[in-house]
Structure 1
Amino acid sequence: MIKLGTQNFSDCNCIGEGRFWKLYEGEVVHAYACTPVVVKRWDGKYHQGHIQFLTEFETLLKYKHENIIGLVGYCNQMNEKIIVYEHACNGSLAKHLDNPSLTWMKRLKICIDAATGLKFLHEGGVEQEYLMRHRDIRSGSILLDADWNAKISNLEFSVERGKLVDDNACTSLGYTDPKYENEGFLTQHSDIYSLGVILFEMLCGRLACAEGCENHSQSLGPSVVRYYNEEGKLDKMIFEGIKEQIMPQSLTTFQTVAIQCLEVDLDERPNINELIIQLKKALEFQVSFHTSISAGFLLQVHL
């Protein structure tokens, strides 16, 4: 069924690849319908690929949430290690950062969705038993469905609290917590740092560090953000496609918590619940702003 749905893992269906896997678009036929899916196929020759497969599969089994990509099926036979996911038709967030049709309101909702999915991992899911750290939070691992709901994916690097970590397993350029990268010190606050980078990507309309980028001044790392903040020039970083939409109180609330996420001192970073509260406040300010404008417009019409 999986082979048929991906045209025998045709290159035409391949939409991405990692070190040990390839990603395919396809469809699963059941009853009288076809369901679009995404298929990740690991290379059976590599032990590390097998470990990643098991990690992601077990995590998806334990953590079922509307803001975490859904597990549709799997194959674990001999050298075939395959996971079938729900299809998020709008692809990764990374592809939409510079899309002006992705309004500030939508961006805030996506940030809240991503943080909510991460909260579910951090708090151990429904049973609150296995507290997780994702370790690969980036805009490329946040997927968007047809209604622009965000879903966390790429769980092959996730790890339960208390388990040993391979420090070299995952370092995404521009997103990795310096504390983890330099000292191998991994906590849930490491995910908060990565999410903070994404918040600035959403605000600035570009990736934290473009592929092949060697100029640190072009990144969205803490030193750059701190410089613009101290100079009172954070507004110069805002994506032109959304700048005129943002209500000042919404912007201030958002920027403040985003900067806190990038603090070097772990204790200065918000936990996931504090982050969600501030993101929701930023959204409330924005919604109130739009509501008041709409009400004023209606009043003007009646007059």
Structure 2
Amino acid sequence: MELTAAARLAYQNGTLNKLIDPKIKEADENILILNEGVNQVSLDKFSDIAYKCVAESQNDRPTIEDVVKELKEALYYQENNKDKLHISLEVIKLGTDNFSDCKCIGEGRYWKQYVGEIVHANMHITVVAKRWDNNYVSKYDISRGYLTKESDIYSFGVVIKEMFQGIPARPDRIPIYESSYKRREILQHQDAFEGIEEQIDPKTFKTFADIAGLCLDHRRYRPDATRVITELEKALEFQEDYEKWEPRLPVDYQKIIQMSKTPELYQSIEMRDMFLKGILLQDGKLFSIGTNGERNEMMSARKFSYRNHRSHKWRSADGSRFPKVAEITDISNLKIQIKMKKEFISPSVKHKVYLIFRVCGPRKSQAKRMYVNLKYKTGNETLHAYFATWREDGWMMIELFQSLNHKKDTDFEVLLESFSRCYCASSSIYIEGIEFQAIDNVNHEETKGFKEVQKVDLNTEKVNKQHIEEQEMILSAKKVVYTSLNPDRFDGRISQRHQVYHDSIIFRGAIEFLRHHVFRIRCKIQRQMLSANTKNVCYLVFKLSEKCHGLHGPVIVRDLFHQKETRILYFRSPNPSNIHDSDWIPEKREDGWLEVIIWIFNSDYELKSDHLFVNLKLVTYEGTMSGLIVRGIEFRPI
């Protein structure tokens, strides 16, 4: 492409600046009289008229008169560039009557400002000159007798030092400033004026001190004004970040950072993110904080004792916070001994203890919880943790217990025995470690009120209601309970022993289950039995046989008619760590029986043709319902 066409295209695309001789842009002293570069307005006018001169069509090209006119204007702007104007000290002295007091229009601690009139380019113009004393001038500039832009940067460096120290500059210290930068004596952290030394972010101070040192360095190495502003803005960002995020870091965060495997200097917001994700410490632990600042710590599975030596291997696992995790191949015979002491969580802080693990291979269910039935021991007590919860990072957590307040810290000890093969199948699992999660005040209050919610005290009808009303509200098990797909067939046993006597009304037909794994509740309810315009609760009224030693685990409840989400209930109150906020647990009734919620519904929404159809399926995760005695179901409004 020829030069003319290339220039025309560059002008049209707004990239003409790339074709300009660098010497022009850098103000080569052999080209420009003012030695300060090209005025942009002058350059734009020159470019505009040049583009018109090389127009492809003759009709689009300007006349010679237009060209001369535009070039004169471009020359005028270049010669009268006020931004690049240089005026000698003698001219300023003449215009201000040698800095006469009558010309002074303002003053500061180390400067005075004067107004005067000078002649420039055959015109009288008014100037304002600020005169500084020697406290802001380098020894070299004093001896030379005039100032440059490098002198301004030096003066600004002195101002930065004064701002930091909160005291005026001392003339006898000026020479030391120039010679001490290489020894980092420009600014010292302890020199900060009283009240801010402890409030300065280390990264803010370093950035601030570095730019001050450069400003006071030899004139050859001083930065330009743009860089000074950039560095000061950067220091301000560091400080604002520090003031915003530093209070949200642990009070001992500097100690923890030094214990980590990467104790570099980080920005506060970077440290905040690091603490949220977890900081890997040198002793096989990981420290993290929650979104509310609560402290958590975790111990790697490498610190566990494995009695079954052949059942575990060390693997790298995606998403793990530790370099290696334990792959366990025999989940029915774990024999993993765990012993650790909290280091970063105070003994007085309530906390939960979780096992962090996941099943090897792809995730097969999108459900938030997964039944695993972890069997473990603490001391002489054997416990079960039934459900594990999926986390956002792809790992699972299962709560082992909650701690109480202790005046003294104690070791945490637990023996992991087995997972259920029924739901974990024969898959191997990865164990990442044990995690202590502190419970903040808000969550603790929710936990305190949790049992109240689970009791579901709905202020319902009392036992002393009229006999006929009671009889209508409770449907006997014989009428509603089925253990097969055939609604006319029940495979259980009608219990004569557990006849119910209540206010001389006999409720016969309570059902005692044998070795059933599942049963259904099917019936049709009249509108009159339900409270209108409100939510209603369906309770299962039951007892456990004296010979019943099972039914400790969870039971699934499915609404087959409305295809709603499944719920979990228990026939025995489980360990608090097993209770989820949506689970239903049993409560004792005044008549001596037990009751547990099996369904909550809106009477108006669910009714069809003045009837409510009930079709519920109850299934145990493991074991049978042997020893469960069902009296019937009862409806009450919330």
TM-score by length of 1: 0.41
Higher relative contact order (CA 8 A, sep 6+): 1
More helix by share: 1
Q: Compare CA radii of gyration and give the structure with the larger one.
A: 2
More strand by share: 2
TM-score by length of 2: 0.21
